[in-house]
Amino acid sequence: MDRANRGRQVLAKGLNELKNRGLHDILIAVVDGLRDFPEAIEAVYPAAQIQTCIVHLIRNSLNLASWKDRKPLAGALKPIYQAATAEAAAVALDAFAQSEWGRKFPTVAARWQRQWEQVIPFFAYPPEVRRIIYTTNAIESMHMQLRKIVKNRGHFPTDEAASKLLYLALRNIEKDWKMPPITWRRAVNQLAILFGERFTNAIS
């Protein structure tokens, strides 16, 4: 079995385990460019909307530039992801490709064009939802803290002991969350409008 097929199987297995443990639906899956991940999600959760993490896409684009070019390149990309609609974003991407920075870094425009089908769902969402799916940094930070706690603890006598430690860790992590409640409430209202019972049944 080649590496690509093996990778898809590992991803599909992990997603099926989540489904068997009670994650019956995914509304929006924000992915960071991991190969084959969108296909694996669609296989297990066919109704999920796949969205590229905009911050990861920007970061990966800037990695193609020297340090002195990163700030102006970031500014040149901003009209794309801050566009009001998918159509306006496509126009901005074309303009970037023809611009000084687009000609200097043609691989950046090509990267956005390759992932465009998983970028454009972002523009269908209202600002309240865009704000919470713009980046996966928050969830990645939480995972990093949990991994550190588990690694420092080492051995767990039972699954229950591990679950209790993770529960307490999440309680502590929650104290540092900075998103204002009003921002989340607005997003919840918009998600309820967008997804109807798929969303409201999950939070009731």
What is the tens place of the pLDDT at every residue in 123-159? 999 988 998 887 767 777 788 888 888 888 878 888 8
In terms of DSSP bridges, do strands 28-31 and 49-52 run parallel, antiparallel, or are they unpaired? parallel
Q: Is the pLDDT of residue 46 over 80?
A: yes
Q: What DSSP line would sit under 14-31, residue for residue?
A: HHHHHHHTT----SEEEE
Closest Cα to residue 74, out of 43, 118, 105? 105
Check residue 147 and give its pLDDT. Answer: 87
Top mean pLDDT of 52-61, 97-106, 132-141, 179-188 is at: 97-106
Domain ranges of the chain: 1-52, 55-124, 126-204
Q: Under DSSP, is residue 52 helix (H, G, I), strand (E, B) or coil?
A: strand
Residue 88 has which token pair? 């306006």
For residue range 3-43, list pLDDT tens digits in order. Answer: 556 777 888 899 999 999 999 999 999 888 777 888 899 99
By the 8 A CB rule, do 56 and 30 touch?
Answer: no
Rounded to whole angstroms, what are the CA distances from 25 to 75, 84, 144?
37, 28, 24
Q: Identify the weakest region by mean pLDDT among 67-76, 91-100, 159-168.
A: 159-168
| Residue 3 confidence (pLDDT) | 59
Q: Rounded mean pLDDT of the chain?
A: 88
